Amino acid sequence: METKTMNIKVEKAKTSKIDQVDFENLSFGTVFTDHMLICRYKKGSWKVPEIIPYQPLTLDPSAKIFHYGQSIFEGMKAYKDDNDDVWLFRPLDNCRRLNISAKRMAIPELPEEYFMDGLIALLKLEKDWIPKTPGSSLYIRPFIFASGTGFHASPADEYTFIIAFAPSGAYFSGKVKVLIEEKYSRSANGGVGFAKAGGNYAGQFYPTQLAIEKGYNQVIWTDDNTHEFIEEAGAMNIFVRINDTLITAPTSDRILDGITRKSILDIAKDEGITVEVRKITVSEIVEAAKDGSLKEMFGAGTAAVISPIAAFGFRDVDYDLPQLSHSYASLLKKRITDIQYNRAEDKFGWRFKV
């Protein structure tokens, strides 16, 4: 489908940086395109978004983002097919999730057309920045932060919504080794774990650093009360394959409702794979690893797509996962990326032409 979009004012950059970029050797999220979308909330309403050259932001030192972490974001990607047509994947789901996060963080909800039409206008302008190198993509970062000022610990009266683009390589390089965490936690019952709130990420940095020092790439979080149940990996939801059943934890107010996660569930069912959405205990995974019924674990998320887990650590023991020649991870990754890059039929109606 293609849609009519609202008229968005564009201030063009005087020069382009695109010739300075090595598209064959992109890291993740360190190079930004020439323009960004900006939209401000003032005096009780969101103003019409504009496209301006990518540029520094100027903020008062008392802006609440610096003090109270009032910010939310989304992660998306744009894909270019062999005809140089540009596609998004379930973009309205990101828009709606941004507003779910907004509500929980006391940030005013953004009109959907500002998000969608702003994103489309910016993508049309920055089309040449979408990498075609396999494994690379244009990472899209919509975010809202509290730009209103004052030291009182209460919601800001002004907010800034920005969409910025970063042509990016893979989020993880190679297979991932994860640590099942029992001391530190990511989120509380009744907390903000289901929201893509900035503070959810900063809180993971230190425990993740400790895990990295021990040779792991990521932490798998468990519930903060008993540490018996697998939750998510912070940047990814987690899938476990025991024998031929694919299992993932149900979403809750502690777990992000991942768009890759729910797409994987639908594709797996379509493939005839037995799928269970239920609580997964750590002891169940450890037992399955010991008796050989644990066939696969993988993470699923926009940045990482599907990231196979090579091994997990628990209580100072590492458990290697088997190397399968026909894994669910590779099958599901092929199915989802074929839809995303317009290489296969889109029976679910997820693809969105820009």
Subset of 163-192 contacting a copy of itself (CB under 8 A): 164, 166, 168, 171, 181, 183-192
Residue 148 near a copy of itself by CB under 8 A: no
Ramachandran region, residue 308 (left: φ > 0; alpha: ψ -120 to 50; beta: rest):
beta
User: Scanning residues 272 to 301, which ones bind a copy of itself (CB under 8 A)?
Assistant: none
Q: In the range 207-266, which residues lie near a copy of itself by CB under 8 A?
A: 208-209, 224-225, 234-235
**Residues 229 and 107 sit within 8 Å (Cβ to Cβ):** no
Decide if residue 201 touches a copy of itself (CB under 8 A). Answer: yes
Q: Which residues pair with 167 in a beta bridge?
A: 138
Of 310-349, binders to a copy of itself (CB under 8 A) are none
Instruction: Confirm if 46 and 40 have CB atoms less than 8 A apart.
Output: yes
Tokens for 33, please give them. Answer: 């395109």
Q: 20, 34 in Cβ contact below 8 A?
A: no
Q: Rank residues 3 and 189 by Cβ distance to a copy of itself and give the closer one.
A: 189
Q: How far apart are CB 240 and a copy of itself at their closest, in Å?
A: 22
Please, which residue, 233 or 288, has the CB nearer to a copy of itself? 233
- Separation CA 91–CA 76 (nearest Å): 8
- Could you give the string, one character per residue 97-136, with x where binding to a copy of itself holds by CB under 8 A and - elsewhere? ------xxxx------------------------------
Cβ distance to a copy of itself smaller for residue 136 or 342: 136
Amino acid letter at 22? D
User: According to CB under 8 A, which residues from 65 to 84 bind a copy of itself?
Assistant: 65-71, 73
- Compute the least distance from the CB of residue 323 to a copy of itself, in Å: 27
**125 three-class SS:** helix
- Backbone region of residue 29 per phi and psi (left: phi > 0; alpha: psi in -120 to 50; beta: other values): left
According to CB under 8 A, which one of 23, 143, 229, 319 is a site residue for a copy of itself?
A: 143
Whether 243 contacts 293, CB under 8 Å: yes
96 is a site residue for a copy of itself (CB under 8 A): no
Answer for the pair 354, 123: CB distance below 8 angstroms, yes or no: yes
Binding track over 11-50 against a copy of itself, x by CB under 8 A: ----------------xxxx-x---x--------------
Give one DSSP letter per residue of 186-224, joined into a string.
S--TTSSTTS-BHHHHHHHHHHHHHHHHTT-SEEE-B-T
Q: Give me the torsion for CA of 152, 153, 156, 160, rounded to 10°.
A: 120
The one segment of 77-85, 144-152, 310-318, 326-334 that binds a copy of itself by CB under 8 A: 144-152
Whose Cβ is closer to a copy of itself: residue 71's or residue 340's?
Answer: 71
Q: Would you say 87 or 161 has its CB closer to a copy of itself?
A: 161
* Cβ 60 to a copy of itself shortest distance, Å: 6
C-beta of 61 vs 292, nearer to a copy of itself: 61
First vs last Cα of the chain: how many Å apart?
8
Determine contact, residues 97/222, Cβ cutoff 8 Å: no
- Residue 308's Cβ-side half-sphere holds a number of Cα atoms within 13 Å equal to 19
Contact call for residue 155 and a copy of itself (CB under 8 A):
yes
Residue 86 or 303 having the CB closest to a copy of itself: 303
| Beta-ladder partners of 230 | 222
Residues forming beta bridges with residue 41, ordered by sequence position: 46, 159
Residue 126 near residue 153 (C-beta atoms within 8 A): no
Shortest separation between residue 320's beta carbon and a copy of itself, angstroms: 25
- How many residues make contact with a copy of itself (CB under 8 A)? 72
Minimum distance of a copy of itself from residue 333's CB (angstroms): 21
